[in-house]
Structure 1
Amino acid sequence: MDSYDDRGVESGNRNAGPGPGRGENMASDTVQGPGPGPGPGARGGGMAALSLPYQIAASIALSVIGLVACVQLAMVFLHVAPANTLTKQHGEAVDEWIYPEFEQNWKLFAPNPLQQNVAVHVRAEIVGADSRRTTPWMSLSGEDGRAIRGNLLPSHIHQNELRRGWDFYIGSHDNENRANGLRGELSERYIRRIAMARLSEHDYGGTVERIQIRSETRSVAAPGWSDEKISTKPSYRVLPWWTVTSADLPENAEGADK
């Protein structure tokens, strides 16, 4: 039996009748189950998020990078390892891979750290229409230094060509500048070509007939905290004058040895 309050509002079961009760509606409004899971086409992160062609391309690229890294490690190991069967049979291939970009040089460390600064200079005898004159000494090492300083990606030529060429010459000549066999003659041609390539970048108003090269060696000064006294005065090694031939010119040097 229904009853009425003083306002005439029925106070009985107001949820009576078909359909869910009020309590059921409240529960359905506040309690929700887990949302729908990822569909069958959903992808994860990383390479899985790429389409199939891009996945294939990425896999190939990673495989190539990994292969090159393994070859690099193997070549460096063979280069620094003591002589063995592999290096005796394939030493030339190892050297071609290592030099010049990956050369291993321990001169920075003991027991034989670099203690001198060596600069290479050149001067030329110029023959003009009605005169002959000798240019002042030009520092080839100084030009290389200016090209390297402040350059984030310096050229290998500016870094090592002249330095290695001069080391090659010193190692194949005695103190009287006499060549020790064919390597000495080869080093002379190499140095002349380097000098002529640099001189060709300047206009001296005539033809370069002869060149002369010298080295300037200065000892590295002791650090400020050291009491050691080291003379930094330069010492020079002056080579004889060389007559320039057509094979020494940059435009002819490439085919000179063929």
Structure 2
Amino acid sequence: MRAATSAAVFLCLTTVLVHVLLVFLHVAPPNPLSQQYSRQVNAWVFPLFEQNWRLFAPDPESVNRQISARTTHTAPDGTVQVSGWFELTAVDSSAVKHNVFPSHTAQNMLRRAWSSYLEHHGGDDRPRSQRALMIQRYLTNIASERVAGRRGGSFEAIQLRVVTVPIAAPAPAGGTGVAAVAPGAADTRYLPWWKVEADSHGN
């Protein structure tokens, strides 16, 4: 029993040390060591442990995004059934509202996944790198798990719809209270249908 406990403690400490080292190499300025092991560092850090400096230089959101998902399921007779849209962002918002200690998952997971997707995909939604493909799968898994957790049932593919609404600029100090610049029109983006692995949503 003591040997098993010692082995578990050693394994935990080793994992923590490796994690700290890899994250340090990720956030440190480029150097020969981080460049030599960049593939291993990126494989460990992205997408779950990504770091940025917005804590020190905040970049406030200039838009509101509403992310929805719908799924398809093939019935025994071969017909394809398409579900209605499920509001993923609304679920996150309800989990955060009036919650003194909202979870990181409700606050940031979906939003950060979509931001990363925008950074690594063009307008045609084609992944052009392994990291882009990883982010796409990450976003797919988040949406699939949330739809399955709320609706249940099985499905083979999922599609996301993202409605982006610009936030109006605040009125100048001493003004009339009307926004200085009226918000632009909402933009709706439909992503491709993505296949879903059965084990990614618990089926």
Specify if TM > 0.5: yes
Question: In the superposition, relative to structure 1, how do residues 232 and 136 fare at CA in structure 2: closer, same or farther (>3 Å)?
Answer: farther
Query: How far apart, CA to CA, are the structure 1 residues paired with 2:105 and 2:51?
Result: 14
- Residue-by-residue CA offset, 1:154-197 (whole Å, 9 max, x unaligned): 11111111111111211111111111210111111111111110
* TM-score, normalised relative to structure 2: 0.66
- Give the corresponding residue for 2:148: 200
Compute the RMSD of aligned alpha carbons.
3.6
Question: In the superposition, relative to structure 1, how do residues 230 and 128 fare at CA in structure 2: closer, same or farther (>3 Å)?
Answer: same
- Residue-by-residue CA offset, 1:207-245 (whole Å, 9 max, x unaligned): 312111121111012335245232353201211111222
Q: List runs of 5+ in structure 1 lacking aligned partners.
A: 1-77, 253-258
Fraction of identical pairs, as percent:
27
Equivalences, count: 167
Tell me which amino acid in the other structure corresponds to 1:105. Answer: R
Q: Note if 1:83 corresponds to 2:20.
A: no
Which structure is higher in RCO with an 8 Å CA cutoff and minimum separation 6?
Answer: 2
Question: In the superposition, relative to structure 1, how do residues 101 and 171 fare at CA in structure 2: closer, same or farther (>3 Å)?
Answer: closer
Query: How far apart, CA to CA, are the structure 2 residues paired with 1:174 and 1:126?
Result: 28
Contact 1:125 1:135 in 2 (8 A): yes
Secondary structure of 1:187's partner?
Answer: helix
Tell me which amino acid in the other structure corresponds to 2:130. Answer: L
Query: How far apart, CA to CA, are the structure 2 residues paired with 1:231 and 1:107?
Result: 28
- Residue-by-residue CA offset, 1:135-167 (whole Å, 9 max, x unaligned): 222221111111111111111111111111111
Q: Note if 1:126 corresponds to 2:78.
A: no
Query: How far apart, CA to CA, are the structure 2 residues paired with 1:159 and 1:202?
Result: 18
Secondary structure of 2:102's partner?
Answer: coil
| Structure with bigger gyration radius | 1
Query: How far apart, CA to CA, are the structure 2 residues paired with 1:164 and 1:212?
Result: 18
* TM-score, normalised relative to structure 1: 0.53
Secondary structure of 1:151's partner?
Answer: coil
Secondary structure of 2:122's partner?
Answer: coil
- Give the corresponding residue for 1:240: 192
Secondary structure of 2:156's partner?
Answer: strand
Question: In the superposition, relative to structure 1, how do residues 236 and 107 fare at CA in structure 2: closer, same or farther (>3 Å)?
Answer: farther
Q: What's the offset of the Cα at 1:105? A: 1.1
- Give the corresponding residue for 2:111: 163
Q: What's the offset of the Cα at 1:84? A: 8.0
